[in-house]
Amino acid sequence: MEIRRIAGALGAEILGVDLSRDFPEEEIRKAFLEHQVIFFREQRLEPAQFMAFARRMGEPIEYPFVKGIEDFPQLIEVKKLEHERSNFGGIWHSDTTYLAEPPMGSMLLARELPPYGGDTLFASQYLAYDALSDGMRRLLERLIAVNSSSKADVTRTREDRVKERGGRSQELIAEHPVVRTHPETGRKALYVNIAHTARFKDMSEEESAPLLEFLFQHQVRPEFTCRFQWRAGSLAFWDNRCTQHNPVNDYHGHRRVMHRITLAGERPR
**CA nearest neighbour of 96 among 195, 181, 177, 213:** 195
- Work out the pLDDT band at 162, boundaries 50, 70, 90: very low
Q: CA separation (Å) from 19 to 14, 57, 139? A: 11, 12, 44
Residue 225: strand pairing partners: 123
Residue 241 annotated to the active site: no
- Going from the N-terminus, what domains does the chain have, and what CATH number goes with each? 2-263 (3.60.130.10)
Task: Say whether 32 sits in a helix, a strand or coil.
Answer: helix
Annotated catalytic residue: which of 182, 196, 199, 245?
Answer: 245
Q: What mean pLDDT value characterizes the chain?
A: 93
The answer to whether residues 234 and 39 touch, using CB atoms and an 8 Å cutoff, is: yes
Specify the pLDDT at position 125.
Answer: 99
> Does residue 26 register a pLDDT over 70?
yes
Annotated catalytic residue: which of 35, 95, 239, 259?
Answer: 95
Residue 245 annotated to the active site: yes
Residue 95 annotated to the active site: yes
What pTM was estimated for this model as a whole? Answer: 0.93
State percent of the chain over pLDDT 90. 90
CB atoms within 10 A of CB 130: 14
Residue 196 annotated to the active site: no
Specify the pLDDT at position 169.
Answer: 62
Q: CA separation (Å) from 72 to 56, 67, 123, 171? A: 16, 10, 30, 25
pLDDT tens digits for range 129-147? 999 999 999 999 999 999 9
pLDDT tens digits for range 231-269? 999 999 999 999 999 999 999 999 999 999 999 999 999
